[in-house]
Every structure is written in structure tokens, then in C-alpha cells.
Amino acid sequence: MVNYIIPEPGVSYQTACSATDDNSMFYCPADDTIAFSQSIATRLWDGTYVGPDGQQVNGEIGDFAAALLVSHEVSHSIQQELGYNSTNVAIPMLEQHADCWAGVYTAYAENQGMLDAGDLREGVIGAYMVGDSHFDSPTHHGTPRDRIIAFATGYNGGTPTACNAYLPL
């Protein structure tokens, strides 16, 4: 069971990795905690979130953008349980594998009738919004295009094995 904290705007909590703030959206393996700020969720929903490359949308995105990114963070917890982390896998591969598994979750949720009309579009936009082109950064996660492709791979494949190309499983 992964722990989670969903800080209210302006509130900070300490994890074993770092303190949270209004821009927190991470998984901390040291205490198996997902931090996802309400501020980020709100900005994703209402379309005011600005991505790492300055990407923005014109208008509301919707609730599933945040839900997709939470499922991405849950995927990091599962990766940790399986022994995959940044000491043995490149960060972009870990991130895109988590995007892929978030796509698998989306396909499952759709098959179970849990999605609303437009949720798939919101998820794709969420993946796009968190992409970055900071290739020289040690925390580079993948371009917006990379993140969408990884999400689509999981969604279209529908099972975790569809994501095996991202990790040496």
C-alpha cells in the first residue's frame, strides 16, 4: 500500500525525499509516498497549468488529466516494488514506463465504464502537459511527444506487458 498526501494550496508536508509545495507531483521511494498537490490538480483541471516547456492549453482540460498523472505516480510505486529505480534504469525510461502503465490503467477504467466522455482526451493532454525537452537535465522525463506515445502504447496495448519495451523486465 502506497501512502499519499494531497496538500491543500499553501500547505507543505515533509516527505523523506523533500517538502511539498503547490507544484508537488511526485513519488518518494524512501517512504513510499505519493505527493500530489491540490493546486496542481486544480490547474490541470481548469487549464491554467503551464508545463515544463511552457506548454499551455486554451481553456479547461478536465479532471482526468490529474487522475492520469496520479496513476503515473502509483506506477512509480509499483516500479519500486519490482526493483526498478533511477539507479538501474534511466529516468526517461522509468517515466515513460509509468506513462505507459497509466495508459493501461486508462484502458482498464474505460472497459469498466469508469470514464466519462472526454476523459481519454484529457489524459492525452495531461501526458502532453508534463513533457519536457530539457535533455541536459538529470531529471529529464521525456518530451511531450514521448509522453503521449508512451501513454498511447499502454492504452492501445491494454496490459502491462505492452509496456515491456520501456524497462528491462
Question: Tell me: the pLDDT tens digits for 68-99?
Answer: 999 999 999 999 999 998 888 889 999 999 99
Q: How far apart are CA 13 and CA 79, in angstroms?
A: 24
Q: How far apart are CA 101 and CA 28, in angstroms?
A: 18
Is the confidence at residue 103, as pLDDT, over 60?
Answer: yes
Average pLDDT, rounded, for the chain:
95
Placement of cell 483541471 in the chain:
45
The residue-averaged pLDDT of 31-46 equals: 96
Is the confidence at residue 169, as pLDDT, over 60?
Answer: no
pTM of the model: 0.94
